[in-house]
């Protein structure tokens, strides 16, 4: 099975060896539900686990799956720029044996670090002051995962991206931050080596190696989605509560829409 590499480096090839180990029929679930004398000792656990797996698989078609049963819309319902938070609405769906066999569906909200171009996200928070806020931005971005634009080239000429973890921010901008072994600035290096003329050479650079002084221009990095936020727990809780405080009618309507979408 060939799978497209999300970084664009090459095709990923996965080899599967399929072996039938068990056959499960869901008829016993219906028989259990229709039997008025059935007890918890008669619960068909294997069939229920199968239905639970099918439910999660079907639900993943239009939503992002995080964890065992949580599914979220890709687009956030609210972005809090000054706290670097994006609130996403989602659903928790599962099939569990509770007295009888029940499908549990509920709506949930969760805060993630705001995804997008790193320079743009920082500008939304700091505005024109971001040029003087290196230490604050370093604290905001600690341990956040980022992905470069596709400017790296493989031997066969394909362009691809790379992923890094933020380990700090330079105290000087890209046009003044020097690469000692090359005796040139980061901005000049990208212009010469990658043929990329930075739009914002006066922005600081992101340190992407914990042990070595390796830096990347902010404008060439994108914050990966669905990462835990670095904001305080109090800020996260208050913003999530604001989004989750919806009228019962609206909540039921969202649950019905979700249920209808997975039953088609």
pLDDT one-digit tens code per residue, 136-173 = 999 999 999 999 999 988 877 788 899 999 999 999 99
pTM of the model: 0.81
The answer for residues whose C-beta is within 8 angstroms of residue 22's C-beta and 6 or more apart is 46
Would you place residue 61 in the very low, low, confident or very high pLDDT band (cuts 50, 70, 90)?
A: low
CB 204 within 8 A of CB 134: yes
Q: Let me know if 14 is exposed, middle or buried by CB neighbors in 10 A (0-12, 13-18, 19+).
A: exposed
Question: Which tokens in the block code for residue 94?
Answer: 């599962």
pLDDT category of residue 221 using cuts at 50, 70 and 90:
very high
- pLDDT for position 199: 95
116-223: CATH, from 2.170.260.10, 3.40.50.11930, 3.40.50.300, 1.10.1740.110: 2.170.260.10
**Where exactly does CATH 2.170.260.10 map onto the chain?**
116-223
Rounded CA separation 82/85 (Å): 8
CB 20: neighbour CB atoms within 10 A?
A: 5
Q: Which residues contact 140 (CB under 8 A, 6 or more apart)?
A: 84, 122, 125, 230
Largest CA distance in the chain: 83
């Amino acid at each position: 099975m060939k799978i497209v590499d999300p970084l664009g480096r090459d095709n990923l090839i996965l080899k599967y060896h399929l072996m039938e180990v068990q056959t499960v029929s869901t008829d016993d679930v219906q028989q259990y539900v229709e039997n008025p004398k059935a007890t918890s000792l008669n619960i068909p656990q294997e069939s229920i686990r199968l239905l639970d797996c099918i439910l999660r698989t079907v639900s993943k078609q239009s939503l992002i799956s995080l964890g065992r049963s949580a599914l979220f819309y890709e687009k956030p319902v609210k972005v809090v720029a000054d706290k670097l938070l994006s609130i996403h609405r989602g659903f928790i769906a599962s099939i569990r044996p509770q007295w009888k066999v029940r499908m549990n569906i509920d709506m949930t909200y969760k805060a993630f670090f705001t995804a997008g171009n790193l320079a743009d996200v920082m500008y939304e928070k700091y505005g024109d002051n971001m040029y003087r806020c290196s230490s604050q931005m370093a604290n905001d971005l600690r341990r956040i995962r980022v992905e470069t634009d596709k400017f790296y080239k493989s031997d066969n000429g394909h362009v691809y991206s790379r992923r890094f973890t933020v380990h700090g921010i330079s105290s000087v901008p890209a046009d003044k931050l020097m690469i000692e072994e090359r005796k040139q600035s980061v901005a000049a290096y990208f212009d010469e080596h990658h043929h990329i003329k930075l739009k914002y050479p006066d922005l600081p650079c992101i340190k992407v190696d914990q042990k070595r002084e390796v830096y990347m221009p902010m404008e060439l990095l994108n914050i990966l989605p669905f990462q835990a936020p670095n904001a305080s727990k109090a800020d996260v809780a208050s913003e999530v509560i604001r989004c989750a405080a919806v009228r019962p009618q609206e909540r039921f309507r969202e649950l019905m829409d979700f249920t209808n979408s997975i039953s088609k």
